[in-house]
Structure 1
Amino acid sequence: MIEQSQIERWLREDLGHHDVTNDVPGETAGRLVAKESGVIAGIDAAEAVFEYFGVDVIERVDAGQRIEAGDVVLRVEGPAADVLRGERVAVNIAGHASGIATKTRRAVDAARAVSDSVDIAGTRKTTPGLRSVEKRAIVAGGGDTHRLDLSHMVMVKDNHVVEMGMEEAVARFRERASFATKIEVEVERPEDAADAARAGADIVLLDNMAPSEVERAVETLPEDTLVEASGGITIADVPDYAATGVDVISMGCLTHSAPTLDYSFRTGAE
């Protein structure tokens, strides 16, 4: 669900205070056309932008579907001025989200070539103000959102360990967190993984380790401990990490480095 206040922020940024460019009379039809293949996402946000102006959305493709160059993914009808005012924001959001979904699907496919059980997850390395759009795009691509914000899970990172020590940090956060909140502990050496589990971690994050190190760390952990690998992992790296026995591979590049999927918005007759 896209909040109206968010749509208004997007539109204020694009339209400014005196939009003459889109002062076009009459009614028109418009269509959002893919210029390359990929996985669609952000279409709900694009639809919400047009609906904000009272433009009718008469057809749309569901998020998560694969699309090819030339496919029409959204059709609208309404006053020409309003169709054109919504065009750029809708194209930008859909293109950005679809790029994330497409990259996520590539990562998921790379993992599935090796393992049917490992999950591909995002991170909190999202664009300020666009996290909800980007996280939904990851889901559209077949990935897992990971924690949506700091309230969803406690993550004990290196800075916490420096300040308090691993055992004290886990104990402190366990005391303050809800019974339903999981605690994840980040480690950077294979030999520290078992210590994290003994300290009470529900999830052990193996950060910035080579696949061989990850595999060695996994072998030291109890079977009921969830294991995540992260840290600069690219799509090319995914098969090697998927073969290590981890449960989750988290990738910041899904959001911070995904290229925009190219769309064109066209009005008038096809």
Structure 2
Amino acid sequence: MRPLLTTDAIERWLREDIGHRDVTNDVPGETTGQLVSTEPGVIAGIDAASAVFEYLDVAVTPTVSAGDRVDPGTTVLKASGDAQAVLRGERLVVNLVGHASGVATQTRQAVEMTKTANTTGETHIAGTRKTTPGLRGIEKRAVVAGGGDTHRLTLSGLVMIKDNHIAELGLTKAINRFRERKSFATKLEVEVESPEMAVQAAEAGADIVLFDNLHPETVRQGVMRVPDDILTEASGGITVEMVDAYAETGVDIISMGSLTHSASSLDLSFRTDE
């Protein structure tokens, strides 16, 4: 089974779609079919689609790889087997690949914008934990297929001190408290609301400073004041249309929840062969 994808997940998805009974699934014999892109984009989710068809004992052959650009009419994968099994899985496969490819396509667009906007350094595009429950693995891998970074996969992947922690403990106390409790292998990031707060966080021991919901010019000022050995990140309501303005600040990372919660699905169609 593919990483981050379990048999339980596939069975749950199929039960959700099939329901009690599908009378139109009473189709005898064998069939072959193709998943075809009907618009340009970047492909992702092929591994999940293959796992679904394989669970149904349908032979599947991907014809492109995750991260590949496709044009309208490009065949993404081919499937063959029992007609009932192929038809049972087709909508789930279309949905998974379409959703993941939408994430990958939007991520690629953001990544390409940073390359032209930040001429003095390198800005990375990253996802966030604003993912669809049950689909985080697929969505995070789609971000990677688009050329982005996953950011932390779970709460345990990074110690992130946010506004509520600071409101309860104070900035310096929060940093000291959680630094004592974390592993040496885990970095500590602090969410800040001003350039002055960024300097305070860096002096208190933050590894990464996150400028949250701040105007690009304010981020620029903060980046200039933080030591070079401290990573800087901008986040909070950033869309693809805003990426260039934030990349021009020289920030190291732009994290975008919109990559996963607002990406439009890539349009695909599954067609059986006559």
Equivalent position SS for 1:261: coil
Residue 152 of structure 1 corresponds to which residue in structure 2? 157
| Displacement after TM superposition at 1:114 (Å) | 2.0
The answer for unaligned runs of 5 or more in structure 1 is: none
Matching residue within 88, 94, 97 for 1:94? 97
Matching residue within 139, 144, 148 for 1:139? 144
- Counterparts of 1:164 and 1:21, CA distance in 2: 60
- Counterparts of 1:59 and 1:65, CA distance in 2: 12
Structure 1 runs, 4 residues or longer, greater than 4 Å off: none
Residue 75 of structure 2 corresponds to which residue in structure 1? 72
1:117-151 CA deviation, whole Å, 9 max, x = no partner?
Answer: 11000000000000000000000000000000001
1:255 aligns with 2:260: yes
Matching residue within 248, 251, 260 for 1:246? 251
- Counterparts of 1:176 and 1:20, CA distance in 2: 57
The size of the alignment, in residue pairs, is 269
| Displacement after TM superposition at 1:18 (Å) | 2.0
| Displacement after TM superposition at 1:219 (Å) | 1.1
1:200 aligns with 2:208: no
- Counterparts of 1:78 and 1:28, CA distance in 2: 6
Residue 9 of structure 1 corresponds to which residue in structure 2? 12
Kindly indicate whether the alpha-carbon contact (under 8 Å) linking 1:204 and 1:227 is maintained by their aligned counterparts in 2.
yes
- Counterparts of 1:229 and 1:221, CA distance in 2: 13
Q: What letter matches 1:105 in structure 2?
A: R
1:112 aligns with 2:118: no
| Displacement after TM superposition at 1:19 (Å) | 2.5
Residue 38 of structure 1 corresponds to which residue in structure 2? 41
Equivalent position SS for 1:227: strand
Q: What percent of counterpart residues are identical?
A: 63
Q: What letter matches 2:263 in structure 1?
A: A
Query: What is the TM-score of this pair, normalised by structure 1?
Result: 0.98
- Counterparts of 2:219 and 2:205, CA distance in 1: 20
1:46-91 CA deviation, whole Å, 9 max, x = no partner?
Answer: 1110000100013431100000111000101000000000001110
| Displacement after TM superposition at 1:254 (Å) | 0.3
Kindly indicate whether the alpha-carbon contact (under 8 Å) linking 2:46 and 2:62 is maintained by their aligned counterparts in 1.
no
Equivalent position SS for 1:148: coil
Residue 85 of structure 1 corresponds to which residue in structure 2? 88
| Displacement after TM superposition at 1:175 (Å) | 1.1
- Counterparts of 1:61 and 1:47, CA distance in 2: 12
Equivalent position SS for 2:157: coil
Residue 225 of structure 2 corresponds to which residue in structure 1? 220
What is the correspondence of 1:23-62 to structure 2 with a 5 Å cutoff? 23-62=26-65
Equivalent position SS for 2:60: strand
Give the aligned CA root-mean-square deviation in angstroms. Answer: 0.9
Equivalent position SS for 2:23: coil
- Counterparts of 1:107 and 1:231, CA distance in 2: 15
- Counterparts of 1:141 and 1:59, CA distance in 2: 18
Q: What letter matches 1:187 in structure 2?
A: V
1:20-60 CA deviation, whole Å, 9 max, x = no partner?
Answer: 22121000001000010000000110111000010001343
Deviates further, 135-144 or 59-68: 59-68
Kindly indicate whether the alpha-carbon contact (under 8 Å) linking 2:98 and 2:267 is maintained by their aligned counterparts in 1.
yes
1:171 aligns with 2:181: no
Kindly indicate whether the alpha-carbon contact (under 8 Å) linking 1:43 and 1:60 is maintained by their aligned counterparts in 2.
no
- Counterparts of 1:21 and 1:97, CA distance in 2: 28
Query: What is the TM-score of this pair, normalised by structure 2?
Result: 0.96
- Counterparts of 1:93 and 1:145, CA distance in 2: 18
1:187-239 CA deviation, whole Å, 9 max, x = no partner?
Answer: 11122110010111100000111111011011111110000011111112111
The answer for unaligned runs of 5 or more in structure 2 is: none
